[in-house]
């Protein structure tokens, strides 16, 4: 299959890749985001030539000019996805087409040229194939893929840049948590919001993260694990965490999550869990939920469980919520039953140990 938008990748093998024994030692306990594979993808864009010069090359530093536009005006977007080791030793991707689509939508919002979906997908497949030895075989392990692109033009004028670099790096990740994740305590940010209507909340851009870090630091100071943001207009409705969407589970067995609408990142884990829940006959609502209702429902027992979700940690139970003058537990403070069920169902599909009725899994080799 050869599409006009797929470039041929020039391959330059690493002259001294990590030795087998050293790689095995790194893979035994990779943690998250600290260990990287031998190669990376680089594709260039210029306004006159479009996307060109696609390469798989040894991973390493890149040289940029101090006037490189991204360093000044933050035209930058990224994705986060995983390659999994299949039970028979092969490898697969989960809903990579959705990451490609979202990357293109993030690009449009940031006035950047979208990477064609099939070029994005080809770049992912090429890198995973070249660095396949880096996909952990340990239970719960995966190869985390980080596609990103930034304005690489040397120019201080304020306008969309005319040159970009698209890159993909890969980082083996261990099981975030063995078995079910422990519950986290959330801090409700009173001063800071993550995204306003008309802003960049639905784009996966580094700037959203930069703006959330001070609130996350406040959460840590308050001895909480993660910050949860409320809406920027009324400061009442729950939106999401700095990098994860949020779900609520009620005593009647229904589940609810805040609706997309420009201020919430359209998580692929979120969408997958909504689909799995509907498949199992669970009543699902995408509706706003106020902080006051969350507290009242948790205290009355109407709300039974809450969890956060995203690619990195999949599903994280929320055990407690704290804020200025506010402190309440969810259920018994531990992981809820439906939370665990949904997590297990999703992980089983991702890892190829359960059927894949929606065609979400792409076998690579
Ligand atoms: C990436 C991200 C998520 C989760 O998206 P997934 O596709 O499920 O990984 C949620 N919120 C924010 C702000 C994000 O950046």
User: What does the domain layout of the chain look like in residue ranges?
Assistant: 4-173, 184-350
Q: How far is the CA of 154 from the centre of ligand 1 (A)?
A: 30
The superfamily CATH assigns to domain 184-350 is D-amino Acid Aminotransferase, subunit A, domain 2 (3.20.10.10)
pLDDT of 1 strictly over 80: no
Ligand 1 touching residue 310 (CB < 6 A):
yes
Ligand 1 touching residue 257 (CB < 6 A):
no
Is 42:61 a contact under the CB 8 Å cutoff?
no
Q: How far is the CA of 104 from the centre of ligand 1 (A)?
A: 15
State the pLDDT at residue 2.
44
Return the residue whose CA atom lies nearest to atom 13 of ligand 1: 243
pLDDT of 98 strictly over 60: yes
DSSP 305: E
Ligand 1 atom having least distance to the Cα of 79: 1
State the pLDDT at residue 179.
60
Domains 4-173 and 184-350 share a fold: no
Ligand 1 atom having least distance to the Cα of 98: 7
State the pLDDT at residue 55.
98
Model confidence at 190, in pLDDT bands (50, 70, 90)?
confident
pLDDT of 131 strictly over 50: yes
Q: Tell me which of 1 and 280 has the higher pLDDT.
A: 280
pLDDT of 255 strictly over 60: yes
The verdict on domain 4-173 having CATH code 3.30.70.580 is no
* β-strand pairing of 91-94 with 81-85: antiparallel
User: What's the CA gap between 346 and 125, in Å, rounded?
Assistant: 22
Ligand 1 touching residue 269 (CB < 6 A):
yes
Model confidence at 7, in pLDDT bands (50, 70, 90)?
confident
Ligand 1 touching residue 311 (CB < 6 A):
yes
State the pLDDT at residue 6.
75
pLDDT of 3 strictly over 60: no
Q: Encode pLDDT of 295-354 as tens digits.
A: 999 999 999 999 999 999 999 999 999 999 999 999 998 889 999 999 999 999 999 999
Q: What is the pTM of this model?
A: 0.97
Q: Strand, helix or coil at 223? A: coil
Return the residue whose CA atom lies nearest to atom 14 of ligand 1: 243
pLDDT of 149 strictly over 90: yes
Q: Which residues pair with 145 in a beta bridge?
A: 81, 170
State the pLDDT at residue 178.
62
Candidate from 29-33, 93-97, 245-249 with smallest mean pLDDT: 29-33
pLDDT of 8 strictly over 70: yes
Ligand 1 atom having least distance to the Cα of 266: 5
Q: Encode pLDDT of 65-76 as tens digits.
A: 999 999 999 999
Return the residue whose CA atom lies nearest to atom 15 of ligand 1: 243
Give me 123's structure tokens: 């770049």
pLDDT of 130 strictly over 60: yes
Average pLDDT of the chain is 96
Return the residue whose CA atom lies nearest to atom 2 of ligand 1: 243
Ligand 1 atom having least distance to the Cα of 204: 15
Ligand 1 atom having least distance to the Cα of 270: 8
Beta-carbon count within 10 A of 29 CB: 10
Chain centroid to CA 262: 17
Residue with tokens 């087409």: 97
As a whole number, mean pLDDT of residues 171-197 equals 89
Candidate from 86-95, 169-178, 276-285 with smallest mean pLDDT: 169-178
Q: Please, where are the H alpha helices in the chain?
A: 20-28, 70-73, 96-109, 117-130, 206-221, 268-279, 291-300, 337-350
Distance linking the first and last C-alpha atoms of the chain:
16
């Amino acid at each position: 299959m050869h599409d006009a938008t797929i470039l041929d990748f020039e391959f330059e093998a690493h002259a001294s890749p990590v030795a087998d024994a050293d790689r095995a030692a790194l893979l035994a306990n990779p943690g998250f985001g600290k260990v990287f594979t031998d190669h990376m993808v680089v594709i260039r864009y210029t306004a006159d030539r479009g996307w060109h010069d696609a390469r798989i090359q040894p991973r390493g530093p890149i040289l940029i000019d101090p006037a490189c536009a991204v360093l000044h005006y933050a035209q930058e977007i990224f994705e986060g996805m995983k390659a999994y080791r299949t039970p028979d030793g092969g490898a697969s991707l989960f809903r990579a087409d959705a990451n490609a689509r979202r990357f293109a939508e993030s690009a449009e919002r940031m006035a950047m040229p979208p990477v064609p979906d099939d070029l994005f997908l080809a770049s992912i497949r090429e890198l995973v194939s070249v660095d396949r030895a880096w996909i952990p075989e340990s239970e719960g392990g995966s190869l985390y893929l980080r596609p990103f692109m930034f304005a690489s033009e040397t120019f201080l004028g304020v306008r969309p840049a005319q040159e970009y670099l698209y890159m993909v790096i890969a980082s083996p990740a261990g099981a975030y948590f063995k078995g079910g994740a422990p519950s986290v305590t959330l801090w409700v940010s009173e001063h800071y919001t993550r995204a306003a209507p008309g802003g960049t909340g639905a784009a996966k851009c580094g700037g959203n993260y930069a703006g959330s870090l001070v609130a996350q630091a406040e959460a840590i100071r308050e001895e909480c694990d993660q910050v949860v943001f409320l809406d920027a207009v009324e400061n009442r409705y729950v939106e999401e965490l700095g990098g994860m969407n949020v779900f609520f589970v009620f005593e009647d067995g229904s589940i609810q999550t805040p609706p997309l609408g420009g201020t919430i990142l359209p998580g692929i884990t979120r969408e997958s869990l909504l689909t799995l829940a509907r498949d199992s006959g669970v009543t699902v609502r995408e509706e706003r939920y106020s902080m006051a209702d969350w507290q009242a429902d948790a205290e009355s027992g109407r709300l039974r469980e809450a969890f956060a979700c995203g690619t990195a940690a999949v599903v994280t139970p929320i055990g407690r919520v704290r804020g200025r003058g506010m402190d309440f537990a969810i259920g018994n403070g531990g992981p809820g039953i439906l939370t665990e069920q949904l997590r297990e169902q999703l992980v089983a599909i991702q890892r190829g140990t359960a059927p894949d009725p929606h065609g979400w899994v792409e076998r690579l080799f």
